[in-house]
Chain A
Amino acid sequence: MAELHIVGEIVGASGFEERNLFCKWGLEAGSMWDVVEGEAGGQTHCCYPPEGEPSVVWSHPVDVHYAAKSLVGWPKMWFQVWHMDDHGLKDLCGYGFCHVPTGPGMHEVEVCTWCPEGTPLEKLQAFFVGGKPRLKYEEVIHSPGDRFRLATRAAGVIKLQLGVCVKDFDKYNVAH
C-alpha cells in the first residue's frame, strides 16, 4: 500500500475580529485510506494574546501516517475556530478546510475561513445573548456538495506549516 506522512504544525491564526481563540481540527479521507498512527484530529489550546497582538499562536503539532489502497479521497483538513469570552462561554467564529498538499516537501498553507451570517433577528440575538448561528451538518465545511442559499461572511486566516512525505508511490507508478 502507498503511504502518506503529514508532519507539521497548525501555527496559528490572524485576522479574526474576536480574541482568545482555539481551534478544533480533523482530517477527513476517503474510505480506502486508513490512519496507521497518529491523531487525525483534536483541539488546540486557547490562546489569549497580549494587548495589541493581532494574531494567536497555537503551535499544535500534527503527525499522521496514512496507508492508502486508492488515491481517491486524498485527505483534507477541516477547521473550526472558536472564541472563548470573558465568562468562559465559547462561540463559533470560523469554518475552513484545505486539502493536504499532494506534492512531497514543505508547504506553508493559509486557510481562509468563513462564518454563517444568519438573519437580522439572529444577529440581534447573538449580539445580546451570544450564540452565533452554526452549521447543522458539519460535513458542509469540507464536502463538495451544495452550499446554495447559505449566507456567510469572511473570517480570519489560519496558518499551517505542513511537511508531506510519500512512500512507495513509485512502486505503483504514481507521479509525485
Chain B
Amino acid sequence: MAKAEASFFTVIVTGQIEFADIPSCDNAYCKYAIVHGDDWTHLDGPEDGISQITRKTSSGPEQKLVWNFPVEVTYKATNAFGWPQLILSVYEIDAMGRDIIKGYGCVHLPIASGNFVRTVPLYKPLSASIAQQFINWATGRPAEFSNPKFPAMGEGREVTRVQSTGHASVALNVITKDMATFGYSEAKGAAVRVAI
C-alpha cells in the first residue's frame, strides 16, 4: 500500500555500540546521545543512554572494552539536512571512583539503508594553558567539553586542541521508508569499515 506522495520519510536505526579500543584505559563506560536537526522528529527509542562499566580481560577479544550496548531509534523527517549524529563519550572510573574522560567521538548515522560497521575515532580535549594543565593534573580532572554536544558541531573548532585516544566500533543497521516517494534518492550502502 505504497502512497504516491508521502508527507515525511522515516529512518529506523538499530544497532549496537560494540566495543572500544583505548590503549591507556582498563575500565570504562560509554554514554551516547543522538542529536538531529530542526526538521526531524523523534518517534521511538531512547535518544541517549549510558552503558555498563566494562573491564578489559586478558581472555577477552584482543584487549577491548566490550559494551555490546543496544541503540534503537526511529525518526521522521521532512528534510535530510540535520541528519542524526551519534555522539559517544567514554569515561574511565579511576581508583578514587571519579569519572575521567577518555574520549569523545561523533559520526553521522549512515544516510543510506544497509548494514554498516563504523570505526569511530575518539579524542579528548587538551588543556588550554600550562597552568590549567597543572591544575588538571593536580586535581586529577582532565579537560572536558563544557557542552557535551560539541563533538557534533562544526563551528568554533579553530581554538580547540585535542589528542587522539583510540577508537570505538559501532554496528548500525539503517532502514529508510518513503524516501523515494518524497523525492529523495534511495541508495543502498554496503558494509564499510573506516579505519584510521
Q: Tell me whether chain A's interface is mostly helix, strand or loop, or mixed.
A: strand
Interface presence of B80 (CB below 8 A): yes
Query: Nearest residue in B to A37 (C-beta to C-beta)?
Result: B81
- Bound form: Cα–Cα A47–B162 in Å: 5
In the bound complex, residues from chain B placing their C-beta under 8 Å from that of A104 are 112, 185-187
Interface presence of B42 (CB below 8 A): no
Interface presence of B142 (CB below 8 A): no
Interface presence of B143 (CB below 8 A): no
The segment out of A2-10, A91-99, A138-146 that lies at the interface is A2-10
The segment out of A60-68, A117-125, A128-136 that lies at the interface is A60-68
- How many A-B pairs fall under 8 Å by CB? 144
Neighbour of A7 across the interface among B83, B116, B162, CB < 8 A:
B83
Query: Nearest residue in A to B186 (C-beta to C-beta)?
Result: A104
- Bound form: Cα–Cα A167–B77 in Å: 14
The segment out of B53-61, B130-138, B151-159 that lies at the interface is B151-159
Q: Known contacts being A42-B157, A55-B196, is A63 close to B82, with CB within 8 Å?
A: yes
Neighbour of A45 across the interface among B85, B162, B189, CB < 8 A:
B162
In the bound complex, residues from chain A placing their C-beta under 8 Å from that of B79 are 65
Q: Known contacts being A50-B164, A61-B108, A61-B153, is A106 close to B116, with CB within 8 Å?
A: yes
Q: Known contacts being A46-B161, A55-B196, is A103 close to B81, with CB within 8 Å?
A: no
Q: Does B80 contact A5, Cβ atoms closer than 8 Å?
A: yes
Interface presence of B12 (CB below 8 A): no
Q: Known contacts being A57-B121, A57-B164, is A103 close to B187, with CB within 8 Å?
A: yes
Q: Does B161 contact A106, Cβ atoms closer than 8 Å?
A: no
Interface presence of A108 (CB below 8 A): yes
Q: Could you tell me which A residues sit within 8 Å of B by CB distance? A: 5, 7-9, 11-12, 14, 22, 36-39, 42-50, 53, 55-57, 59-63, 65, 103-106, 108, 159, 161, 163-171, 176
Ordered nearest first, which 8 A-B pairs have the shortest CB separation? A163-B111, A105-B187, A104-B185, A45-B160, A104-B187, A106-B189, A57-B121, A57-B164
